[in-house]
DNA sequence: GGGTAACCGAGACGGTACGTCTAGTCTTTAA
DNA sequence: TTAAAGACTAGACGTACCGTCTCGGTTACCC
């Protein structure tokens, strides 16, 4: 992963390296990355996503809208998926914290509900499209996994294994399979029947899903 | 759906209209569709899919490989998804019949096993890519739904509702949700962790899945 | 020139062969040429020429407008130039006879006036475009020469040589050069400054031109 | 005339704008036009014209031969006519200067001879084809007029009016008509009887033509 | 304060593929 | 045999983006 900024989620790439610590081994010479340009790019991307699908989006259009050179985009993100991923994550109200749960059952339930809520928003469509982009290229796959799917699944898997230890969930299930059983139907419905997604999944599914894995 | 051949699956479009029945109101005038070209196109598509993803595939490349004019492709299929879908379905050994099951439980089990087997082959990747293409355009979505996903899901849903009537499966589950619960994890793993797909899903999943919906 | 109808001007190709004389050695078997189609093609061509240039015109468009198969056109005319040439000539009021002139001077004058009148009509533009088409292909060149330019120039050349014999025109000029001198400026202005064509050429030019060659 | 380079003849478009004058309001941003590509395109065009007519020539073929993207051609020239015109003019030995004439009669004679010499070369055919292209489209017409025909005719017209003032040429002729009379026959023979062009026109015509307008 | 280095915008570059168009040919049924 | 209909191969059209490059300029750090 040679890209300098690694398109990672929350870090403020800019300026961080140019601290006043003269011993910092990663002192950056030259003109620092422009926060203005970065923000313009992410903002333009989000704006374009309101009317276009990820697939319809072009780097060229983003650059034009953001009044930025194409090279500036390519310098910091390896491909479209990375830009969109970053734009998505940097939306306001994206990193809402969860209240600490009382049990692992409650934890999983809350996590599923959060996921469903996320996918029901306008962003749901975009995420489905990113998931799709990921099928086309190894590189996009990795980004989607690292930035979105991985953390999400890891958190759920953690709660599941914990719940298995406490006896809340049955141990016969492989924890990874359990996560597939919990999350699979959600993504599947999102992608296969997007119009039905909101209808039935609202409050019902998490409860139902928990039954599937509870002891 | 204005396309003449409607990219439908098994029908032999050619010659069928020019029967000996002179009263046939749909007598086709003009030169009939060339079976040779049709086959060349489907064959070329399958051949190219061995080394390329659906997204990398281009109509131009298919036309070149099949020694066919681009217009001939555009005349009969509305887009790439349709061509690939058709090519996939017209592969040898694609329409294998299933033995009649003894119970609805067995029926669902067999259907899931068949699906998993299908997705484990080289075609699995292609299907995942078609599913992805479907996210990008309404038109592709429709084709994928009509030609692949719809029939498959309908068959499973039928077995599920039958099983609910006989008491094999619990009635608390909406039949559509049940299908999502059965199929979702399969597709999810295929797309999210393709490398793990073969490992764990072989024989285990269908049994496990059945537990989820059985009474 | 293997084309059966030879796209020649005035002959009524149709029916002529299928006379009632059974001993006619050139009896045509099979379905006779359709006069209806022929007329439809020529009419469609003329109609399309009202809004399009010869270059913009396509065989396909003519066939469609005339409700005729493309093959029917290709069977009887070798190319677009031939069709347009034929359509032009078969327009009503195209073969107006000239009154017999009193002198060769008058003959040439009348011929030039007729030519100018012809080129001033809507057909003038079309003729310029046919002249242009002729530059692109040998075949079109031949058709334009045989059907339009040749006869016209021959007639003028005849009058010129006659006039040279009678002493009306000076003999120092090669008769072919004389024709170039008489006609060249007309065509040149038509093609180089079409907008100025009508203005100055109306009645002036023939008189002026005659001075150039008169003894 | 929105095209940046205006396909004009002799100017060296490249770099010219980036002079050392810092106040130059037309500072060129971005990567400058590639002289290499420009030359490759013109060279390829000339090379292809040796074996093809202008009409047979395709932008695609030029791009391929010049190893250049099609867009690079479309960026700088509005159409095929413009490219060919530019290629023609940028040939070596195209802008040969004329010796200063002693009289207007001599001037016109020299101009006509130069024109005939030009049209007798391989370029003659190409020019006839460009003249033809110009009949088909308004845009091409303008380019041909501005780049070739206009300057040529203006120069001759100037000599004619001068000659009329000095009494060398008769004043009864409108100067524009005079130019048509001088040049028309040349172009007419070139286009109507290209095979006869070289034979008769060599040295005879200019003298003959001058008689037509001399006092 | 001059030098060096990485950044920035703008936009041209070689390419690939798009979906449309037309050419001229071929293959069928009907007249 | 010709006509009509329309499918066929072939290939150019002009456009849109791709990811790279090449300019003139800017903004930091370093000596």
Is residue D205 within 8 Å of residue D186, measured between CB atoms?
yes
User: What is the C-alpha separation between D211 and C173, in angstroms, rounded?
Assistant: 12
CB contact under 8 A, C135 and D136: no
Query: Which chains pack against C, by 3+ Cβ pairs within 8 A?
Result: D
Does the pLDDT value for residue C74 go beyond 80?
A: yes
First to last CA, chain B: 42
Does the pLDDT value for residue C131 go beyond 60?
A: yes
* Residue-wise pLDDT tens digits, D7-26: 544 444 443 333 333 344 46
More confident residue, B201 or A76: A76
Q: Is C50 exposed, middle or buried (0-12, 13-18, 19+ CB in 10 A)?
A: exposed
**Of the spans A171-175, A200-204, C124-128, which averages the highest pLDDT?**
C124-128
More confident residue, D211 or B82: B82
The whole-number pLDDT of residue D3 equals: 65
* Residue-wise pLDDT tens digits, C193-209: 988 887 656 567 888 88
Q: Which residue places its CA closest to the C1' of nucleotide E31?
A: C31
Nearest by CB: D135 against C185, C191, C204: C191
Does the pLDDT value for residue A51 go beyond 70?
A: yes
Query: Which residues of A are less than 8 Å from B176 in CB distance?
Result: 196, 200
* Residue-wise pLDDT tens digits, D125-142: 999 999 999 998 889 999
User: What is the C-alpha separation between A153 and A159, in angstroms, rounded?
Assistant: 10
Does the pLDDT value for residue D112 go beyond 60?
A: yes
Distance measured from the CA of protein residue B64 to the C1' of nucleotide E18, in angstroms? 15
Sign of the four-CA dihedral A133, A136, A140, A144: positive
Does the pLDDT value for residue A196 go beyond 90?
A: no
Nearest by CB: A177 against B174, B187, B208: B208
Query: With an 8 Å Cβ cutoff, is A150 touching chain B?
Result: no
Is residue B141 within 8 Å of residue A132, measured between CB atoms?
no
Is residue C65 within 8 Å of residue C47, measured between CB atoms?
yes
User: Phi-psi region for residue C167, left (φ > 0), alpha (ψ -120 to 50) or beta?
Assistant: left
More confident residue, D141 or A20: D141
Average pLDDT of chain D, as a whole number: 85
User: What is the C-alpha separation between D166 and D87, in angstroms, rounded?
Assistant: 39
Helix (H, G, I), strand (E, B) or coil at C180: helix
**Length of chain C (residues):** 215
The whole-number pLDDT of residue A99 equals: 83
CB contact under 8 A, B208 and A173: yes
B190: tokens are 């295929």
Could you say which residues from 65 to 104 on chain D have a Cβ atom under 8 Å away from some Cβ of chain C?
none
User: What is the C-alpha separation between A212 and A205, in angstroms, rounded?
Assistant: 11
Instruction: Find the nucleotide nearest D15 (Cα to C1′).
Output: F23
* Residue-wise pLDDT tens digits, C25-43: 344 556 667 788 888 999 9
Q: How confident is the model at residue C11 (pLDDT cuts 50, 70, 90)?
A: very low
Nearest by CB: B136 against A55, A177, A208: A55
Average pLDDT of chain A, as a whole number: 85
Q: Which residue places its CA closest to the C1' of nucleotide E7?
A: A31
Which residue shows structure tokens 């009635």?
B171
Please list the pLDDT of chain B residue by residue as tens digits (215 residues): 456 545 544 444 443 333 333 434 467 788 999 999 999 999 999 999 999 999 999 999 999 999 999 999 999 999 999 999 999 999 877 777 778 889 999 999 999 999 999 998 889 999 999 999 999 889 999 999 999 999 999 999 999 999 999 999 988 888 999 999 999 999 999 999 988 887 656 567 888 888 888 87
Distance measured from the CA of protein residue D123 to the C1' of nucleotide F18, in angstroms? 39
Which of B185, B196, B209 to mutate to probe the A interface, most A CBs <10 Å? Answer: B185
The whole-number pLDDT of residue D201 equals: 63
Query: With an 8 Å Cβ cutoff, is C173 touching chain D?
Result: yes
Q: Considering only A129-133, C149-153, C161-165, D22-26, which range has the smallest mean pLDDT?
A: D22-26
CA distance B107 to chain A (A): 20
More confident residue, C118 or C3: C118
The whole-number pLDDT of residue B22 equals: 40
Nearest by CB: B180 against A133, A176, A189: A189
Which DSSP string corresponds to D30-63?
SSPP-HHHHHHHHHHHHHHHTTS-TTT--HHHHH
Q: How confident is the model at residue A81 (pLDDT cuts 50, 70, 90)?
A: very high
Q: Is the pTM of this model over 0.85?
A: yes
Q: Is B205 exposed, middle or buried (0-12, 13-18, 19+ CB in 10 A)?
A: buried
List helix spans (H) across A77-120: 80-89, 104-120
* β strands within chain A, DSSP E: none
The whole-number pLDDT of residue C24 equals: 39
Query: Which residues of A are less than 8 Å from B175 in CB distance?
Result: none
The whole-number pLDDT of residue A100 equals: 86
CB contact under 8 A, C132 and D137: no
Q: Considering only B36-50, B191-205, C140-154, D169-183, which range has the smallest mean pLDDT?
A: B191-205
The three-point CA angle C148-C153-C156 to 5° equals 135
Distance measured from the CA of protein residue A32 to the C1' of nucleotide F27, in angstroms? 8
Distance measured from the CA of protein residue A73 to the C1' of nucleotide F23, in angstroms? 18
B144: tokens are 């994928």
Q: Is C6 exposed, middle or buried (0-12, 13-18, 19+ CB in 10 A)?
A: middle
Query: Which residues of C are less than 8 Å from D205 in CB distance?
Result: 177
* Residue-wise pLDDT tens digits, A108-119: 999 999 999 999
% chain A with pLDDT above 70: 85
Q: Taking CA atoms, what residue in A is nearest to B205?
A: A177
**Of the spans C68-82, C119-133, D59-73, D111-125, which averages the highest pLDDT?**
D59-73
The whole-number pLDDT of residue D195 equals: 84
């Amino acid at each position: 992963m040679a890209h300098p900024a690694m398109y990672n989620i929350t870090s403020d790439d800019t300026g961080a390296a140019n601290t006043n610590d003269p011993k910092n081994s990663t002192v950056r010479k030259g003109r620092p990355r422009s926060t203005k340009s970065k923000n313009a790019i992410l903002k333009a991307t989000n704006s374009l996503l309101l009317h276009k699908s990820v697939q319809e989006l072009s780097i060229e259009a983003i650059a034009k809208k953001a009044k930025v050179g194409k090279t500036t985009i390519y310098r910091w993100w390896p491909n479209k998926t990375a830009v969109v991923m970053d734009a998505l994550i940097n939306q306001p109200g994206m990193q809402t914290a969860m209240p600490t749960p009382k049990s692992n059952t409650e934890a999983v339930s809350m996590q599923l509900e959060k996921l469903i809520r996320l996918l029901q928003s306008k962003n749901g469509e975009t995420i489905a499209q990113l998931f799709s982009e990921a099928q086309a290229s190894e590189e996009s796959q990795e980004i989607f996994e690292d930035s979105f799917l991985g953390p999400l699944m890891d958190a759920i898997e953690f709660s599941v294994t914990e719940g298995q230890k406490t006896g809340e969930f049955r141990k016969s299930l492989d924890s990874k399979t359990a996560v597939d059983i919990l999350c699979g139907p959600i993504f599947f419905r999102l992608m296969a029947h997007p119009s039905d997604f909101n209808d039935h999944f609202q409050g019902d599914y998490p409860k139902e899903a928990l039954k599937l894995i509870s002891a």
